[in-house]
Amino acid sequence: MITKIETVAVIGAGYMGGGIAQSLAAAGMKVVLADVSPEATRAALTRLLREAGEFEAQGLFAAGSAAAIEANLSIADSIEEAVRTVDFVEEVVPEVLAIKHEVFKRICAAARPDAIIGTNTSTLPVHTLAPAVTNPERFLTVHFSNPAPFIPGVELVCGTATDRALIPVVKDMLKRAGRNSAEVADTPGFVLNRLQYVLLKEANSIVEEGIASPKDVDVIVRSTFGFRLPFFGPFAIADMAGLDVYANCFKTFEDAYGDRMATPELLKGLVAEGKFGAKTGEGFTGKHAPEKLAKLVAYRNNAYARMAQLLEELGPSPLVEDD
């Protein structure tokens, strides 16, 4: 079994595939790209090298990244040629089951039998894709986020046939590329998109019910709870606020919106046991010593103040700069 990924093929050199290829090449892996035709692949390489130079000049990529990408990124005229010898293949073609199946069949017919095969699918469960992969024990979802050169988080999803020993090998590859990764279960939309789409769905309902305009919803999201999200997830945020407080708020929601917003069983259980989060030293995120909680408050205050300074320095996004 492959224990360290040194060589990679990225199949599909579009928006996401291009950024994934740049990121892995910048981290020193040898990366081969292949798109739907040799012309499309050549055009993608030209774009990616130009962008890498621009990103480095703008200080968005570390010094030396553009040269590393130029040295490590190459192209192949076909999927078969791209995947032939590599340790890891990442499929990044459109989110259409039939296209992905066809591409997996071609990858599997040409790649080494032990090559690890990943898919960047946003929503398709592994079990819908795995039937097109021979030796499905080497197959998993490796889901980068948009824009791939800059967003650090990657979701990993194993299917029932996936060899769990792949996880540390893929995590090591991602770590070398400066990525955080987390393994989640095989369900449609995984974690990222399930949460993101619930937020978008509820935001749509708020607009449809005349509660706020899309613009005002965006102001509130990015300047209140969205402002916290670079540092803390929903469980850490709830622990810091107080789970007893959250349980009371859920009562209001349950009265107004019914079961859909009823108090979650996990939260009820913690509150029943007197675990209210930071204020009692135990909550969703586990048990924490008082010294750690004091450090947490200091970290949080510093993070939020620095975030406010960064936003001030960057200025408003072009979407809101006329407001």
Ligand X SMILES: NC(=O)c1ccc[n+]([C@@H]2O[C@H](COP(=O)([O-])OP(=O)(O)OC[C@H]3O[C@@H](n4cnc5c(N)ncnc54)[C@H](O)[C@@H]3O)[C@@H](O)[C@H]2O)c1
Residue ranges binding ligand X (CB under 6 A): 11-17, 35-36, 40, 79, 92-95, 99, 103, 120-122, 145-146
In 3D, which of 230, 210, 242 has the Cα closest to residue 306? 230
Which residues contact residue 281 at a Cβ distance below 8 angstroms, ignoring those fewer than 6 apart?
A: 287, 288, 289, 290, 293
The residue among 177 and 267 lying less far from ligand X, judged by its C-beta, is 177
Crossing angle for the helix pair 192-208 and 214-223, nearest 10 degrees?
Answer: 130
Q: What is the length of the chain?
A: 323
CA distance 255 to 160: 40
The residue among 36 and 219 lying less far from ligand X, judged by its C-beta, is 36
Distance of closest approach, residue 300 Cβ to ligand X, in angstroms: 29
Distance of closest approach, residue 99 Cβ to ligand X, in angstroms: 5
Distance of closest approach, residue 119 Cβ to ligand X, in angstroms: 7
Distance of closest approach, residue 44 Cβ to ligand X, in angstroms: 7
The residue among 102 and 254 lying less far from ligand X, judged by its C-beta, is 102
List for the chain the helix, strand, coil content (%; round to 5): 55, 15, 35
Render 93-110 in DSSP notation, one character per residue: --S-HHHHHHHHHHHHHH
Query: Which amino acid belongs to residue 104?
Result: F
Distance of closest approach, residue 78 Cβ to ligand X, in angstroms: 9
CA distance 285 to 282: 7
The residue among 146 and 301 lying less far from ligand X, judged by its C-beta, is 146
Chain position whose Cβ is nearest to ligand X: 14
Crossing angle for the helix pair 65-72 and 15-26, nearest 10 degrees?
Answer: 100
The residue among 39 and 255 lying less far from ligand X, judged by its C-beta, is 39
The residue among 190 and 232 lying less far from ligand X, judged by its C-beta, is 190
CA distance 198 to 189: 11
- CB-CB contact of 93 with 106 (8 Å): no
Distance of closest approach, residue 96 Cβ to ligand X, in angstroms: 8
Distance of closest approach, residue 287 Cβ to ligand X, in angstroms: 35
Residue 219 token pair: 């102001």
- CB-CB contact of 34 with 113 (8 Å): no
Nearest-10 Cα torsion for 251, 255, 261, 264: 40
The residue among 15 and 197 lying less far from ligand X, judged by its C-beta, is 15
The residue among 145 and 181 lying less far from ligand X, judged by its C-beta, is 145
Distance of closest approach, residue 216 Cβ to ligand X, in angstroms: 25
